[in-house]
Structure 1
Amino acid sequence: MSKNIENAIYNEKLPSGLPWGRVIKKGQTFRIVDLEGCQAVDTLFYNANNVNDRYSATDTIREQGSIFITTGTKLLSSDDNVLMEIVEDTCGNHDTLGGHCSAESNSVRFGLNKKYMHSCRDNFLTVISQLEMNPKDITNNINFFMNVPVEEDGHLAIVDGISKPGDYIEMQAQMDTLVLISNCPQLNNPCNGYNPTPIQLIIWDN
């Protein structure tokens, strides 16, 4: 059921390439909107009361029997708690294996001259330092709207996105969940269509 934006308790645009962090309270609904289409949104999830209990790609994939996430997927933590449940998804294509870009991966994939280009890891390091977290706390992330198919030889490919302007994913917090986002700044592969764009972040009380 479509929600009234006017009833949202939080509604902000996040410019391309920037980080964001907030606790989504149990029962609240969180929507990420891909405003212009084909933007990758790298996202980390933690138990807000114990950041050592964080999103686990392994457990989430095992329980749902798929490497991709969409409506009905429960995002499981390393302690087997349900952090979030996806309740609506207009895109249907989100990656949970590809990880996030970093200075190191930029240099390996695209050349040493790309090493110091802005990256999602830089964004995550910025936001976790503000929360007095440790770099080792940056673990599994989800790449919302990012198109990472599995090729016939088993390798992951990063290809053109399929999300359209206005596509969104909506999830309900099953416990107080710290959400950290890097609105991906990557310019060297097609995850953003080589053109990072803003997203919209909306929260409702239920």
Structure 2
Amino acid sequence: MSVKVLWEDSIPGGSHGSFIMKRDTILKVTDIVGNGNLVALFYNMDNKLERYNMADTLKAQHTFFLSKGNVCYSDMGRILCSIVDSSCTWHDTISGMSNTETITTKYGALNYQEARNDMHRNAQDSVLIELSKWGLDRRDLVANVNFFSKVTANAQGVLSFVSDNSKPGDFVELRFEMNVLVVLASSQHVLDPSPRYSPNPFALTSLKCSSAGPYDLCRNLCPENGRGFYNTELIFR
């Protein structure tokens, strides 16, 4: 798969951003410090009513978390993006994101007037700010992916956050199978037990790539993915 760099950027700890990734491009995200958490949401840019669906993503691929080879399904049975490479073997899908209450309870309230850019931000408000830039609002919030975080469940269904899941320099590469609005927020995981507010920065690199071929790892991970790619490719014929 031949690639070339289109642009490079970064997202500071506690910050947020949104942008469009075109079909046949890759977004490489690198956890600079390690033990980071990056909240991510995906929407079909050509029809923003179509968006990432956590339940279908997990059900179709018979998994509880995402890793290399997995894809992110939309609520219309199509594939928004594929994880073509990842040095981190577990990305959380089920825990959601922090809000004002969870951040204030755990770390205390610290607003912009008091702390300027060191204020305590929560992921939900960050995501809502980005969604508003594209004509979306609270009604368009859906379950998100927490890249670089690991959460396990015991026999009773109790969730446990696993610290140090991501090491400095760990990365994930997302190949986009349609034109996608990407919304990101660098925010500590909602279950992170750390008593200190310290969201981490991430490096972003956009790469041009070729389309998924017939022997593509993500396409052939399971029969459901093959059908998902077929459904996606129909809209580009």
Report the TM-score when normalising by structure 2: 0.77
Match of 1:149 in 2: 152
> Contact between 1:89 and 1:168, CA under 8 Å: does it hold in 2?
yes
Match of 2:203 in 1: 200
* Structure 1 position 194, deviation (Å): 4.9
> Contact between 1:9 and 1:205, CA under 8 Å: does it hold in 2?
yes
* Structure 1 position 115, deviation (Å): 9.6
Aligned counterpart in structure 2 of residue 164 of structure 1, from 164, 167, 174: 167
1:152-201: CA deviation from partner (whole Å, max 9, x where unpaired): 32122223131111100001111111110001156983479852221001
> Contact between 1:85 and 1:171, CA under 8 Å: does it hold in 2?
yes
| CA 187–137 in structure 1, closer or farther in 2 if over 3 Å, else same | closer
| CA 126–20 in structure 1, closer or farther in 2 if over 3 Å, else same | same
Match of 1:136 in 2: 139
CA distance in 2, matches of 1:130, 1:122: 13
Alignment-mate amino acid for residue 159 of structure 1: V
CA distance in 2, matches of 1:50, 1:166: 34
- Does structure 1 residue 19 correspond to structure 2 residue 22? no
> Contact between 1:118 and 1:185, CA under 8 Å: does it hold in 2?
no
Larger Cα-atom Rg: 2
Q: Which runs of 5+ in 2 are unaligned?
A: 112-119, 210-237
Q: Which runs of 5+ in 1 are unaligned?
A: none
| CA 51–192 in structure 1, closer or farther in 2 if over 3 Å, else same | farther
Aligned counterpart in structure 2 of residue 71 of structure 1, from 53, 68, 71: 68
Alignment-mate amino acid for residue 140 of structure 1: A
> Contact between 2:83 and 2:173, CA under 8 Å: does it hold in 1?
yes
| CA 36–78 in structure 1, closer or farther in 2 if over 3 Å, else same | same
1:120-163: CA deviation from partner (whole Å, max 9, x where unpaired): 00101111112221211111110000121112321222231311
1:93-130: CA deviation from partner (whole Å, max 9, x where unpaired): 110000000013445x649x559742000101111112
CA distance in 1, matches of 2:27, 2:40: 13
Alignment-mate amino acid for residue 135 of structure 1: R
Q: Identity of aligned pairs, percent?
A: 27
CA distance in 2, matches of 1:32, 1:152: 33
Report the TM-score when normalising by structure 1: 0.88
Aligned length: 201
Aligned-residue CA RMSD (Å): 2.5
CA distance in 1, matches of 2:182, 2:127: 11
> Contact between 2:82 and 2:174, CA under 8 Å: does it hold in 1?
yes
Aligned counterpart in structure 2 of residue 39 of structure 1, from 27, 36, 39: 36
- Give SS of 1:97's match: coil
1:2-151 equivalence runs, <5 A? 7-106=4-103, 110=106, 113-114=108-109, 117-151=120-154
CA distance in 1, matches of 2:83, 2:172: 7
- Give SS of 1:162's match: coil
- Give SS of 2:60's match: helix
Alignment-mate amino acid for residue 162 of structure 1: N
> Contact between 2:14 and 2:199, CA under 8 Å: does it hold in 1?
yes
Aligned counterpart in structure 1 of residue 185 of structure 2, from 173, 182, 195: 182
Alignment-mate amino acid for residue 177 of structure 2: Q
1:46-90: CA deviation from partner (whole Å, max 9, x where unpaired): 111111111001000001101110111111001111000110010
Alignment-mate amino acid for residue 59 of structure 1: D
